[in-house]
Amino acid sequence: MTVETIDVALGDRSYKITLGANILDTIGELCQSLGLSGTVAVVSNSTVAPLYYDRVRVSLQAAGFRPLLIELPDGESYKNSATLNLIYDGLIEGGLDRGSFLIALGGGVIGDMAGYAAATYLRGIPFVQVPTTLLSQVDSSVGGKTGINHERGKNLIGAFYQPKAVLIDVATLDTLPEREYLSGLGEIIKYGAVLDGEFFTFLEENAGPLLDRDKAALIRAVACSCAIKARVVSEDEREGGVRAVLNYGHTLGHAVETLTGYGAFLHGEAVAIGMIQAARISREFGFCNDDDCARIEALVTRLGLPRQLPVYPADSYLEVLSHDKKVRQSGLLFICNAGIGHYKMERVRDIGALLRVCGIQ
């Protein structure tokens, strides 16, 4: 299979996404081509490091780098300041200086935390994303959002800090647990639902191959998702406008994650639930019809993702949504699908009305 490259055009912060199957062993050559040198801290976790660190280490050493491993505990519940300090500890103990760099080897939690550490250690050193989960390959590894969670909300602390490159090997998905793999498919649906109707149709027609982890179908799905996100990020790096469309399904999805303690639902599962509710809200606003809602719910169901909001009082949802990053004095910016493949953005002052549409009283 061929290797694809996708440009993320951001002026002097531009970089390439390199995508293929069985290309993990090229990480050393890639870093060399970027002009990086010296010591590299590979930030990973206790699940991914035993699977892939040795291959990364051998490739880096062959290219003349001095790799060291910073291994963190695995899970969204560790995406916090205490775990972030473990990265800083490793960087300081390893003697990394401004001529060093980081590699984030793992899923979205690793990518977000390693990226934030890179953005803030010595006021900024380079880093490279090597995402090993489907969710991180199509979302968090691209676009430069880094950060950690706070007990009052998800991703409230962070920075925009672009990687030097992204290397995506879809073969790493072979070892991904089924539930985490399906979670990534939930994030992929988003791109088709609000930004590319033809891609949404591709997902409907190729649900079977994607569920079977067919490499050709995966490369197409990941490449399309990354290309869409790269285009949006190039237009709006810091989410001042159009980039907010990427939050489709995330408003209620983040609320679900926060209320359930970042453990009961994986991110893509929560987003899938949020997309179904967002479609219903979009229909209430007159932006889509019953058939559009049915297609979104059918694809979510076909790909084995949850559909129902967990039961919490309306006041609990209101409290969490009031801390959403998209809330301003003019109200909550809510992302709607306009049919399939297009979007609308609405400022909503009465959040309770949104919840009532979702059946939350």
Does residue 190 carry a catalytic annotation? no
Is 173 annotated as ligand-binding?
yes
Does residue 243 carry a catalytic annotation? yes
Is 286 annotated as ligand-binding?
no
Is 344 annotated as ligand-binding?
no
Does residue 29 carry a catalytic annotation? no
Give the Cβ contact number of residue 34 at 10 Å. Answer: 15
Are 259 and 320 a contacting pair, CB within 8 Å? yes
Is 257 annotated as ligand-binding?
no
In the set 180, 187, 237, 269, the catalytic residue is: 187
Is 139 annotated as ligand-binding?
no
In the set 254, 257, 269, 337, the catalytic residue is: 254
Residue-wise over 53-71: b if at least 16 C-beta within 10 A, else e?
A: beebbebbeebebebbbbb
Is 267 annotated as ligand-binding?
yes
In the set 190, 247, 257, 326, the catalytic residue is: 247
Does residue 239 carry a catalytic annotation? yes
CA distances from 343 to 158, 222, 243, 348, 350 (A): 27, 21, 12, 16, 20
Is 75 annotated as ligand-binding?
yes
Is 258 annotated as ligand-binding?
no
Name the phi and psi angles at 345, rounded to 5.
Answer: -115, 130
Is 110 annotated as ligand-binding?
yes
Name the residue among 263, 354, 260 with its Cα closest to residue 314.
354
Is 174 annotated as ligand-binding?
yes
Name the phi and psi angles at 67, rounded to 5.
Answer: -85, 145
Distance CA 11, CA 44 (A): 29
Does residue 250 carry a catalytic annotation? yes
Does residue 229 carry a catalytic annotation? yes
Residue-wise over 315-345: b if at least 16 C-beta within 10 A, else e?
A: eebeebbeebbbbeeeebbbbbbebbbbbbe
Is 111 annotated as ligand-binding?
yes
Distance CA 334, CA 278 (A): 8
In the set 145, 190, 295, 326, the catalytic residue is: 145
In the set 164, 250, 295, 326, the catalytic residue is: 250
Is 78 annotated as ligand-binding?
yes
Does residue 267 carry a catalytic annotation? yes
In the set 71, 180, 237, 239, the catalytic residue is: 239
Does residue 344 carry a catalytic annotation? no
Is 154 annotated as ligand-binding?
yes
Is 132 annotated as ligand-binding?
yes
Is 172 annotated as ligand-binding?
yes
Is 228 annotated as ligand-binding?
no
In the set 267, 295, 326, 337, the catalytic residue is: 267
Is 291 annotated as ligand-binding?
no
CA distances from 209 to 120, 171, 203, 217 (A): 41, 15, 10, 6
Give Dmax (Cα) for the chain: 61
Number of H helices, E strands in the chain: 14, 12
Give the Cβ contact number of residue 311 at 10 Å. Answer: 9
Is 8 annotated as ligand-binding?
no
Distance CA 357, CA 131 (A): 36
Q: What is the DSSP letter of 266?
A: -
Distance CA 12, CA 353 (A): 44
Is 342 annotated as ligand-binding?
no
In the set 190, 220, 243, 326, the catalytic residue is: 243
Distance CA 301, CA 299 (A): 5
Query: Which residue ranges make up the annotated binding site for Zn(2+)?
Result: 187, 250, 267
Query: Which residue ranges make up the annotated binding site for NAD(+)?
Result: 74-79, 108-112, 132-133, 145, 154, 172-175
Q: Return the active site residues.
A: 123, 145, 187, 229, 239, 243, 247, 250, 254, 267
Query: Which residue ranges make up the annotated binding site?
Result: 74-79, 108-112, 132-133, 145, 154, 172-175, 187, 250, 267
